[in-house]
């Protein structure tokens, strides 16, 4: 009987070391293991969709998909007091779906990050069209029972409330229009902000990888 294939590993070459991360499902959770030059240095069980491991002079932050696969693996370099942390991205396993997504993010970062906007817009359309149509179809077909409500006559005491004279503030019409429609456009605006931040993070990590390859100092989180 052939032995099962070992878990695929995310890899990072740093400071003359080969740092690798592998994750496997264990019961209802996910367990991640960190290796430096082939030796395991840490093992952690995911907390929610995240895990943090340390070894080889770096802190490794891992994010998982809802199925337990690795979504993102980032090394945060140990920084001296008062200095900003530097992030480096691990390389996904060769031939994996994550590698294809990474190639898309590297070659067309704006298109890759725009998925946040597409998801937000999809949720909005589903909320406007899908739920309304579903309720309109199902509610008339549900035989709700007729339950008589009891006639309860409770003599509640009358409690005098203080009278506070608040100023009458009238908002401009354009402000009221914006606020009244916020539930429609706010999720998309948030998604655009998230997408822009993701593009900038990936640009900085790619720049750090290039500078490290050229023997230059990396840029920090504010660079």
Which H or E element spans position 16? none
pLDDT digits (tens, 9 = 90+) for 153-166: 666 677 776 777 76
Banded model confidence at residue 1, pLDDT cuts 50, 70, 90: very low
The domain ranges of the chain are 9-93, 108-139+172-214
Percent of the chain past pLDDT 90, that is, above it, reads 17
Is 31 in contact with 23 (CB distance < 8 Å)?
yes
Strand order in the sheet with 39-45: 9-14, 17-26, 29-36, 39-45
| 57-73 per-position pLDDT tens digit | 889 999 998 888 888 89
User: What whole-number distance in Å separates Cα of residue 161 and Cα of residue 49?
Assistant: 49
Q: Please state, in angstroms and rounded to a whole number, the distance separating the CA atoms of residues 84 and 140.
A: 60
> 95 to each of 10, 65, 91, 102, 216, how far by Cα in Å?
12, 18, 11, 11, 30
DSSP states along 139-191: GGGS-----PPP-----PPP-PPP----------HHHHHHHHTHHHHHHHHHH
SS3 51: strand
- Higher-pLDDT residue of 100 and 83 is 100
Q: What is the pTM of this model?
A: 0.55
Q: What is the rounded average pLDDT for all residues in the chain?
A: 75
């Amino acid at each position: 009987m052939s032995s099962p294939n070992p878990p695929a590993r995310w890899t990072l070459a740093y400071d003359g070391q080969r740092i690798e991360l592998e994750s496997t499902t264990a019961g209802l959770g996910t367990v991640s293991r960190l290796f430096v030059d082939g030796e395991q240095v840490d093992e952690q069980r995911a907390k929610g969709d995240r895990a943090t491991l340390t070894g080889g002079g770096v802190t490794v932050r891992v994010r998982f998909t809802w199925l337990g696969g690795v979504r993102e693996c980032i090394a945060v370099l140990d920084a001296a007091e008062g200095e900003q942390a530097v992030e480096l991205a691990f390389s996904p396993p060769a031939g994996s779906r994550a590698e294809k997504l990474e190639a898309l993010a590297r070659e067309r970062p704006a298109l890759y990050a725009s998925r946040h906007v597409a998801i937000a817009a999809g949720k909005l359309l589903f909320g406007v069209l899908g739920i309304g149509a579903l309720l309109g179809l199902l509610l008339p077909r549900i035989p709700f029972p007729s339950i008589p409500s009891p006639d309860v006559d409770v003599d509640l005491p009358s409690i005098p409330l203080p009278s506070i004279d608040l100023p009458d503030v009238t908002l401009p019409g354009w402000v009221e229009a914006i606020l009244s429609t916020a539930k429609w456009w706010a999720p998309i605006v948030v998604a655009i902000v998230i997408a822009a931040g993701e593009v900038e993070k990936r640009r900085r990590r790619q720049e750090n990888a290039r500078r490290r390859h050229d023997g230059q100092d990396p840029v920090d989180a504010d660079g």
